Amino acid sequence: MIKILLIITLFCYSFRGVSQKEDIRDHTIGYHHIFYGGLQLNTHGWGGEFRRGYHKTVKTKNLIDFQISTLKHPREIKLLPFDGSDGFTFAKLNHAYTFRLGKGKHTIIAFKPFGEGVELKTIYSFGMATTILKPVYYLMVYGNDSEVSVERFNEDQHDLFNIYGPGPYFKGFNELQMVPGIFGKFALNFEYAAERTSIRSMEVGAIIDGYYKNVDLLAFANNYPIYVSLYLSLQYGKKWYR
């Protein structure tokens, strides 16, 4: 009887050791939570993002995605005066900051072999987007008048020769406008961290933002309700068990 119990005990410990060894070799199975963030450069500005993931299957995780980024009109031009004074963007109506909150999934299409190399994932998310518009003010002069006034740009009254320089950035925060909309994102994610519990990745993708009206960014130009941005982001984070 004692011999039988000893054999069963040794078998259980051997099985446990094999299981642990397999888990050490596998870089993905068993991690049920991930959290990471990073910086993003896109064709309409720059920003940051945070992402939380929850286990669904071995290859798939459900994601909650939060992003914030600037939004610039593709025809914006910044002018730098010859006298060395501060530059300004001509005819800019509003600074725009976009907030996105969505849900999605990542799917692993190429695992890391034994936890080394690069893991390739596809990522998508959909959700709500809100762009906050803050009015832009300029220092304006008229003719030979030496008096300078602080005004918003009006394409019916102003031109390049009226602008003396950029106005105070913080003026206009009591005039903020919110433009709600929706967004969709698709990306390829390349994770290359050597540590088993770390996330270091590079991501390339596209984001489509859609609004119920034009987002007023620039005078003397067409403003649009839909913006398509290509982006590149570098991310860092961690993963852990239940």
Q: What is the pLDDT of residues 131-165, one digit of tens each?
A: 999 999 999 998 777 789 999 999 888 888 888 88
Using CA atoms, how far apart are residues 85 and 41, in angstroms rounded to an integer? Answer: 28
- Region 72-80: mean pLDDT is 90
> Quick check: helix, strand or coil at residue 23?
helix
> Quick check: helix, strand or coil at residue 112?
coil
Contact yes or no for 240/33 (Cβ under 8 A): yes
Using CA atoms, how far apart are residues 209 and 62, in angstroms rounded to an integer? Answer: 21
**Based on C-alpha coordinates, what's the Rg of the chain?**
26
Contact yes or no for 197/239 (Cβ under 8 A): yes
Q: Pick the residue with more confidence: 165 or 214? A: 214
Contact yes or no for 150/135 (Cβ under 8 A): no
pLDDT for 125 equals 97
pTM value is 0.83
Domain ranges in the chain are: 1-28, 31-240
Using CA atoms, how far apart are residues 117 and 190, in angstroms rounded to an integer? Answer: 10
Confidence category of residue 47, pLDDT binned at 50, 70, 90: very high
Nearest residue to 43 (alpha-carbon basis) of 73, 65, 88: 73
Cβ atoms within 10 Å of 170's Cβ, excluding its own: 8
Nearest residue to 138 (alpha-carbon basis) of 108, 158, 111: 158
Using CA atoms, how far apart are residues 211 and 227, in angstroms rounded to an integer? Answer: 9
Confidence category of residue 38, pLDDT binned at 50, 70, 90: very high
> Looking at this protein, which amino acid is placed at residue 119?
E
- Region 187-206: mean pLDDT is 94
Which residues have a Cβ under 8 Å from the Cβ of 122 and sit 6 or more positions away? 106, 107, 109, 186, 187, 188, 189
With 60 as the cut, is the pLDDT of residue 34 above it?
yes
Quickly list H helices, 1-151. Answer: 2-25
Per residue in 101-116, pLDDT tens?
999 999 999 988 766 7
| CATH top class, domain 31-240 | mainly beta
User: Across-strand partners of 37?
Assistant: 50, 236
In this structure, what token pair is assigned to residue 142? 């008229």
With 70 as the cut, is the pLDDT of residue 8 above it?
no
